[in-house]
Amino acid sequence: MKNNILLTIPLISLAITGCSTAYTITSTPSNANIFVNTIPRGKTPTMIRYKNSFGRDVDLSIMKDGYETMNVSLTSEGGVRNFNLNKINIDAEKKDPDSFKRTSIPIFEIINLQNNLDYNKSWNIIFSIISKNFDVAMMDKNSGYIRSHWNYKSTGIVRDDYRTRVTIKFNLDKTNLELKSEANFKYNNNWIQGSDINSLETIKTDIKAMIE
């Protein structure tokens, strides 16, 4: 008697208005991380159902430790997409990203608020600035705390070896806030802690322009 083997591929749905298109994402080797528009979406092999909006393409990145990251755009034509990943030359010299500063404890920077700016308006401004640059992971308006998800695209391209996030917290009387940027750089399979200068300066400049 022959045995029937069923391969189960997870289905991920992206909720965007428009006509739905299905893609089966595979890679050689398999078990690679999938990012759609910089958001983690599981590992290969995976089926993605994307609701195309006005013919816009989907930014897809395939990442696996020891292999080069692949960045492609998926058109509105669905089907199977297989990606052959290239091994990274482990002997090649690997340098820290230009904006990365190694530190075991990233320091909070203090930003004072305008005297006549109420807390609700300040909170809305901060939330708008953070959500424009990052996906929000945690927030609590009562305590005045916001932390973003890790962003793998702060250098302009998706990288599986570099990630950044920001944290903002208001003081108890809501007269100032503290801002810090964290960054991790993967080297020899270990995450090195630090901060990202560019992310910190960008967020800090945007906040000061609105609330100082």
Tokens of 110: 């203090």
Inside any domain, residue 92? no
Residues 73 and 149 in one domain: no
The residue from 28, 57, 84 where one domain ends is 84
Same domain, residue pair 27 and 61? yes
Do residues 108 and 176 share a domain? yes
Q: How many domains does the chain have?
A: 2
pLDDT (tens digit, 9 = 90+) per residue, 41-76?
A: 899 999 887 765 545 667 888 998 878 888 888 777
**CATH number of the domain residue 32 falls in:** 2.60.40
Does residue 84 surpass a pLDDT of 70?
yes
Q: Is residue 158 assigned to a domain?
A: yes
The fraction of the chain above a pLDDT of 90, given in percent, is 43
Query: Does residue 33 carry a pLDDT above 50?
Result: yes
Same domain, yes or no, for 41 and 131? Answer: no
Q: Write down the pTM of the prediction.
A: 0.58
Is 93 a domain residue?
no
Distance of CA 109 to CAs 6, 55, 116, 193, Å? 54, 43, 22, 18
Q: Are the C-beta atoms of residues 80 and 87 closer than 8 Å to each other?
A: no
Assess if residue 178 is contained within a domain: yes
CA angle centred on 178, ends 176 and 180, rounded to 5°: 160
104 and 72 in a common domain: no
> Would 39 be classed as within a structural domain?
yes
Provide the domain limits for residue 64.
11-84
- Give the CATH number, domain containing residue 187: 3.30.310
